[in-house]
Amino acid sequence: MRGMMDGLSAVDWAALTHAYGSAADVPGMLRDLAGGDRKALDDLYGTIWHQGTVYEATAYAVPFLVEMLAAPGLEPDGVLGLLADIVDGASYLDVHRGFLPRSQRDTDEVREQMTTELDRVAAAGRAVAAGTPAYLQLLATHPDDGVRVAAAHLIGVLGPAGAGEAGAAALREAVARDGSGAVRAAGVLALGGFEEHVPEALTDPLPLPRLVAALVAGRAAPPVDALTQVIERDAPACLRLVDRLPGGAGNALAWVATALAPHTGTQVRLLTAWLSHADGAVRETAAHAVAVPLHTWRPAAAALVPALVAAAQDPLAAVRLRALRHLAGAGRAAAPAADLLWAAVTRGREPAEPRSPDHRPVAAAALTALARLHDPRADAHLATLLRARPPALAHLADAVAALGPWATRCRAAIVDAIEAVPAGYDRARLIRAAGRLGADPRSLVRVLRRQLAAHPHAAGMLLGDLGPPARAATRDLTALRASEDPTRQRIAARALWRITGEAEDLLTVLRGQLRDHHALETLAELGATAAPLAAEVKPLLDNDYEWLAVHAAAAYWHLTGDATPALPTLLRTIDCVPWGVVTVRTLAAMGPAATDAIPALRAERESPYRRPRWTDEHDVIAEDEGWTAICHHALSRIEGRTTGTWPDVVLPEPARQP
């Protein structure tokens, strides 16, 4: 140990860097860890390995970590885990390159930095591989099962390039002779890193090695029936064993389902079986694990709904709740379960539900699902809630957002409720919903005039959307136009244009705000009337800020009718995120001029995998279905098959202002 400390002093740590700058503090962390301080391990995870990335100092620290494995009193499993994570680490720039401004991603400076960082990643990996004899020794002789499991995992991560044939041989020996089922399972899993399957492990006397052997064997191709039967039988027996493996999770069946990707049909088959298992703990675990295929594979929703309907009537409240949540988030596939969802609405909160202000009750989730299905019961129920004073709308923002012209019972109720809720986002949501419902313009205008001061964005935009029927608000909007705030000026000028048809003042406002994507959105509405501003918009097509570039492309097309300059921007931004919605809407408006977008739109529409990113779990399927619908609509417009209206669907949206 003293020799190791001497070696630490020989490294110029201050000249090296880690995730937070100078690595001068690394020797202290290593000394503390060698002395048995487990907090030092967390500190090293935050510096020489940070959220999956490794740094210049990492390779220099690794030999000391390897030497520590033999230190008396140290628990080596944590150090082995850190070393394995270092081998799997990436460079910071490699992970974050996509977050750089687009114009900087491929510069000489970035490429040079990437090369330097990747060299450091490779050096760290070589440093870990140099410690292979120590890992082999721990796997063969350490008395603690957890240490042997961690050693097997590290050898598997190193693979043939790092641990060589000696590593594979040691793993085979562990699988054949180790007395611990967890170690044998870890060995089977690690041999998968060497592209080796272990058929004899399928007959191991314990379920965990058998389960892992079946998963490894089924990784390359859809598991045959015999392997699927092993997984179906043994996974329930491993509910509390999987977490002994590196990478094991609290939900064993979710871990199994994830390991089976991309064999989604097998995932669905197994989870369906486990949802009706005799053991309630298995059913509860499966009810959570259903999210794995449900939120990744488009056909999974329809395939799983029958099993979820049965699970929603399970004797265990935890199973019922989770099944109902999945049904509420299953999109159109949940239509056959509408009566079950309605029963959840009328039953209200289940006794077993957590009472957290951030936790949406299952009744609210069910009502949102029914509203998205345009079920008239949701319309009637929400109308009743809106008429209460104050309106009983806790947890119902998504249900209100799903209201549209179909919700005739809510039209008058929602206008009356606007001023009965506190000012802020709740009131703004009701204002926007009133616009979508097609409420009576006269009563709506009276309310909106009173709300302009507190909610200029929501009220002003809706007054503009109403157009000439909002003429009574002209004086109020003229006063708002006199504001010194640019946003209020733009909203008021837009509304006055939509009401009066006079565009000159709006053009004056927009000319000074062209680097604001909201202004570009309004410019697109003006269309050819704003054509003189096209030359100022065109340079924004290459802007690094995607929001600005996409709205510039939309505006340029609507101003000029010329698709050629705008298409490159639009083609690179077809993605299921808020700016992608603007892109697809613009491509649909272009029609046949957007022919170059057909392959990308078809790929988005026809992919078997869900596309949304950056969304809450309960909206994944709804947003994916909405995304598919608008891509289909755009394709129909481009291919000249329809000029229909824009679909009324759930889509990724940016945060809205009140």
The number of distinct structural domains making up the chain is: 1
User: In this structure, is residue 126 part of a structural domain?
Assistant: yes
pTM score, two decimals?
A: 0.92
How high is the pLDDT of residue 223? 80
Query: What is the DSSP code (8-state) at residue 609?
Result: B
CB 472 within 8 A of CB 450: no
User: In this structure, is residue 295 part of a structural domain?
Assistant: no
Measured distance CA(387)–CA(588) in Å, rounded: 39
Percent with pLDDT over 90 in the chain: 87
More confident residue, 643 or 561: 561
User: In this structure, is residue 57 part of a structural domain?
Assistant: yes
Strands 49-50 vs 53-54: parallel, antiparallel or unpaired: antiparallel
Cα angle: 208, vertex 236, 210; to 5 degrees: 25
User: In this structure, is residue 102 part of a structural domain?
Assistant: yes
User: In this structure, is residue 96 part of a structural domain?
Assistant: yes
How high is the pLDDT of residue 411? 96
In the predicted model, is pLDDT for residue 126 greater than 90?
yes
User: In this structure, is residue 508 part of a structural domain?
Assistant: no
Domain span at residue 7?
2-249
Measured distance CA(452)–CA(26) in Å, rounded: 57
Measured distance CA(319)–CA(284) in Å, rounded: 5
In the predicted model, is pLDDT for residue 357 greater than 80?
no
Q: Tell me whether residue 238 is exposed, middle or buried, using C-beta atoms within 10 angstroms of its C-beta: 0 to 12, 13 to 18, 19 or more.
A: buried
User: In this structure, is residue 594 part of a structural domain?
Assistant: no
Closest CA to 198 of 182, 210, 180: 210
pLDDT tens-digit profile of 309-329?
A: 999 999 999 999 999 999 999
What pLDDT band is residue 657 in, cutting at 50, 70 and 90? low
**Averaged over 40-59, what is the pLDDT?**
96
Measured distance CA(437)–CA(414) in Å, rounded: 9
Q: Can the peptide bond before residue 262 be classed as cis, meaning omega within 30 degrees of 0? A: yes
CB burial readout 13-38, b (16+ within 10 A) else e = beebbbbeeebebbbebbbbbbeeee
pLDDT tens-digit profile of 165-197?
A: 999 999 999 999 999 999 999 999 999 999 999
Residue linked to tokens 């008396």? 72
pLDDT tens-digit profile of 258-309?
A: 999 889 999 999 999 999 999 999 999 999 999 999 999 999 999 999 999 9
Structure tokens belonging to residue 556: 């340029």
How high is the pLDDT of residue 363? 94
Q: Tell me whether residue 161 is exposed, middle or buried, using C-beta atoms within 10 angstroms of its C-beta: 0 to 12, 13 to 18, 19 or more.
A: exposed
Measured distance CA(344)–CA(349) in Å, rounded: 8
What pLDDT band is residue 248 in, cutting at 50, 70 and 90? low
pLDDT tens-digit profile of 611-635?
A: 998 787 889 999 999 999 999 999 9
**Averaged over 450-457, what is the pLDDT?**
96
pLDDT tens-digit profile of 65-77?
A: 999 998 887 889 9
User: In this structure, is residue 232 part of a structural domain?
Assistant: yes
How high is the pLDDT of residue 178? 98
In the predicted model, is pLDDT for residue 643 greater than 90?
no
In the predicted model, is pLDDT for residue 217 greater than 80?
yes
